Homo-oligomer: A and B are copies of this chain.
Amino acid sequence: MKLSEMGEFRFLKKIMRILDENELGKFDDAIAIKVNENYLVLNIDTLVRRTDIPPGMTPHQIGNKVVVMATSDIIVKGATPNFFVASITIPKEEDVEYLEEIEYGIKNSCSKYGIKFFGGDLNDGLDLMISGVSVGFTKKIIPRKGAKIGDSVWTTGYFGETGAGLHYLLKGGIKTRNIDGILKKVFEPSLPFTDGKILLEIANSSIDSSDGLSISLHQLSSINNVKIVLEEIPIAENVINYASVNEIDPIIFALYGGEEFEIIFTTSHKDEDVIETFKSYGYKPPHKIGKVSEGRGVEYRGERVEESGWEHFSEQKNTV
């Protein structure tokens, strides 16, 4: 059987039994080990030019994206990022300036988030590919499993811009006046905050949204054996107009776009407390999008939200 027929998820399930268990179990993107009183949290994420780099992205932006991708998975655990290393594979026919710009992009992004950039490894290969490793520490881990019935569900940002942006870039969507704002989100993704520490104060469970809002909510639901009842789908302002001109339901972009690095968390704290905590850290206020209730799956206005998004290896088409 070919990998494309099996899909990434089924393959990972298959080899799960040979993996050793870490403090986050075996199913998380990140891994954690106890080091004295703290946890070391590490994540490796690889960006492949052919699949992860949209046309028009500069090498500087590529460098930023790999830092954001790898670090998102550790701040969502509550960790304070500490350092970053990258292994870059690149065709040797590439210009020196191109690789240099990638390194500057990594460095700038690391500086922005207070992360030390220690370099890494360089290799010759057929396609540009960057494996980024982000390492941080935390006193406590916010797991994916921990949502309680009655918790409210929050996100750190609005969704849909990367979905709309990729639709424009890859599927020949009609240009709209706010396309620059939309593309900025595709080309220059950013983290909602530089330090996961804030989550230790409020979150019962958390997950990042890089696989798409729908898939991430479904994962939360399935891991916690609960139903997520969406009361509001947080659609980015820019998406409304683009979706209308292109005659696509904006909810589609928000739920199934992916490649957005917002944090989704559940909490039993009062709404005012959550908002106040974010304010005290100087972060933008998060958005309450729903509730954790008994049952399974994800619901919006009485209807089941499809579990769909972008999966490596799968032949299945993305909804967008």
Q: Enumerate chain A interface residues (CB-CB to B < 8 A).
A: 1-4, 6, 8, 11-12, 14-16, 18-20, 22, 26, 29, 31, 33, 35-36, 40, 42, 44-46, 48, 50-51, 82-83, 85-87, 89-97, 99-100, 103-104, 107, 116-127, 129, 131, 133, 135, 137, 312-313
Report 26 cross-chain contacts, Cβ distance below 8 Å, ordered by A residue: A1-B95, A1-B96, A1-B97, A2-B94, A3-B90, A3-B92, A3-B99, A3-B124, A4-B93, A11-B100, A14-B100, A16-B119, A19-B118, A26-B118, A31-B119, A33-B82, A35-B35, A42-B85, A42-B133, A44-B131, A45-B87, A46-B89, A50-B126, A87-B131, A122-B312, A124-B312
CB atoms of A33 and B83 under 8 A apart: yes
The interface residues of chain B lying within 8 Å CB-to-CB of A97 are 1
* C-alpha gap A14/B6 in the complex (Å): 44
CB atoms of A93 and B44 under 8 A apart: no
CB atoms of A46 and B15 under 8 A apart: no
CB distance from A37 to the nearest CB of B (A): 8
Q: Which of A3, A6, A29, A103 has the most CB of B within 10 A?
A: A3
A35 and B40 in contact, given A20-B117, A104-B18, A118-B19 (Cβ under 8 angstroms)? yes
Apart from the given pairs A40-B40, A125-B129, 7 other A-B contacts in the complex at a CB distance below 8 Å:
A2-B96, A3-B94, A15-B100, A19-B117, A26-B119, A123-B312, A131-B131
CB distance from A261 to the nearest CB of B (A): 16
* C-alpha gap A126/B6 in the complex (Å): 18
CB atoms of B36 and A96 under 8 A apart: no
- Pick from B31, B48, B137: contact of A85, CB below 8 A: B31
A118 and B20 in contact, given A15-B103, A83-B31, A87-B46 (Cβ under 8 angstroms)? yes
CB atoms of B18 and A120 under 8 A apart: no
- Pick from B4, B20, B48, B118: contact of A125, CB below 8 A: B48
CB atoms of B44 and A95 under 8 A apart: no
* C-alpha gap A3/B85 in the complex (Å): 20
The interface residues of chain B lying within 8 Å CB-to-CB of A103 are 15, 18
* C-alpha gap A107/B86 in the complex (Å): 23
- Pick from B14, B22, B44, B123: contact of A48, CB below 8 A: B123
* C-alpha gap A16/B118 in the complex (Å): 9
CB distance from A138 to the nearest CB of B (A): 13
The interface residues of chain B lying within 8 Å CB-to-CB of A12 are 119, 122
The interface residues of chain B lying within 8 Å CB-to-CB of A19 are 107, 117-119
CB atoms of B3 and A133 under 8 A apart: no
CB atoms of A46 and B131 under 8 A apart: yes
* C-alpha gap A33/B127 in the complex (Å): 32
A89 and B11 in contact, given A119-B19, A131-B131 (Cβ under 8 angstroms)? no
